[in-house]
Amino acid sequence: MNEFLLLVEVGIIDGAFLAISAVGFSMQFGVTNYVNFAYASFITFGAYCAYLLDSGPLHANFLVDLVGAAIGTAALSFLIGSFVYTPFARRRPQLLFGLVLTFCMWLILDNLLLGIFGYDYRELTYTSGSASNIGQFGPFQMSPIEGVFLLVAVVTLGSVHGLLRYTRLGRSMRAMSDDHSLALVCGLNTKRIVRLTWIITGVLGGVAGFVQANQLRAFDPGIGDTYIYLVIAAVIVGGIGRPYGAALGALIIGIVSELSVPIIGAALSPVAIFGVLICLMLFRPAGLFGSTGRSQFENA
């Protein structure tokens, strides 16, 4: 029983970390209608931003790394979104070109990062000693650094919730993801909202990359590519374009993959996630919160 509770706890923590990028991916799709495969590269970029600040001549502290990863990735996301994706969408509005474009951008960014940093494994400084003093709380365990990162995740997700629920921008974003044309007709400045969405989801991608870099301990430029399948799986479970669905999906994916470990082994945990996805495709193909229907891409 204690082992079960511990696995659930680890699953919830994994899910909370996963939720950061899943919410970002989903939110960005909802507002901009771009299935942005390059989000994997954004996560990698965030991890390397934090690494450069952490290890370089700067030896910056935790908070600076976090903010640096967020700002750097937000800048990348904004640049790619405004100067590559938006002009392309205006010129070639078909869904097919949009998907091919983001797929290409993913591999271009990935290989640029790979070309710069190579396959060497990197490590954040505060990760190294973290396995030692693990606190025990009843059946639950947590190392201090993990607690700090969990706090980061909770604060990030909480701010996203606050943004979506209580601000004018958040309301406009939700309106845009419900119906693009209607939002435009109602006089929302959709261009501005799209730009801000690129920035906000970039922040989420950067923070997710930083958190994941710490989770993995040692990482290489493949960090985003192996992570993105979990992110997208969580997004699909929740329904693409639904931030709250993505958060729930991330929790489900996190808990399922942890609980599957004692049954089928850690290496086979993708099988459990495939199982979740297959059940979903059979019984609820649009995801838990999603709506069936056509892609809105061509209205964008």
**Encoded tokens for 232:** 């997208």
**CB–CB of 214/204 below 8 Å?**
no
Query: Which among 5, 131, 85 has a CA at the least distance from the CA of 300?
Result: 85
> Does the protein bind another protein through residue 114 (CB under 8 A)?
yes
> Does the protein bind another protein through residue 142 (CB under 8 A)?
no
Q: How many residues bind another protein (CB under 8 A)?
A: 54
Kindly report the number of other CB atoms within 10 A of residue 196's CB atom. Answer: 17
Among 5, 58, 79, 92, the residue binding another protein under the rule CB under 8 A is: 92
> Does the protein bind another protein through residue 75 (CB under 8 A)?
no
Least gap, CB of 106 to another protein (angstroms): 7
Q: Give the start-end residues of each E strand in the chain.
A: 122-123, 135-137, 140-142, 218-219
Among 47, 67, 236, 252, the residue binding another protein under the rule CB under 8 A is: 236
Look at the block and give the residue holding tokens 């995801």. 287
3-state secondary structure of 202: helix
The rounded Cα 198 to chain-centroid distance in angstroms is 13
Among 1, 96, 185, 263, the residue binding another protein under the rule CB under 8 A is: 96
User: Smaller CB distance to another protein: residue 27 or 67?
Assistant: 27
> Does the protein bind another protein through residue 82 (CB under 8 A)?
no
Among 56, 57, 115, 187, the residue binding another protein under the rule CB under 8 A is: 115
d(CA 39, CA 29): 11
Q: Rounded to 10 degrees, what is the CA torsion of 71, 77, 80, 82?
A: -90
Least gap, CB of 117 to another protein (angstroms): 8
User: Smaller CB distance to another protein: residue 107 or 199?
Assistant: 107
**CB–CB of 201/28 below 8 Å?**
yes
d(CA 265, CA 227): 19
Among 108, 196, 199, 288, the residue binding another protein under the rule CB under 8 A is: 108
Least gap, CB of 291 to another protein (angstroms): 10
The distance in angstroms from the start CA to the end CA of the chain is: 51
Among 191, 281, 298, 299, the residue binding another protein under the rule CB under 8 A is: 281
Contact region with another protein (CB under 8 A), list: 65-73, 125-133, 196-204, 275-283: 275-283
The angle subtended at Cα 288 by Cα 282 and Cα 292, nearest 5°, is: 70
> Does the protein bind another protein through residue 162 (CB under 8 A)?
no
User: Smaller CB distance to another protein: residue 4 or 274?
Assistant: 274
Q: Which residues bind another protein (CB under 8 A)?
A: 35, 37, 88, 91-92, 95-97, 99-101, 103-108, 110-112, 114-119, 225-226, 228-229, 232-233, 235-236, 240, 265-268, 270-271, 273-274, 277-278, 281-282, 285-286, 292-295, 297
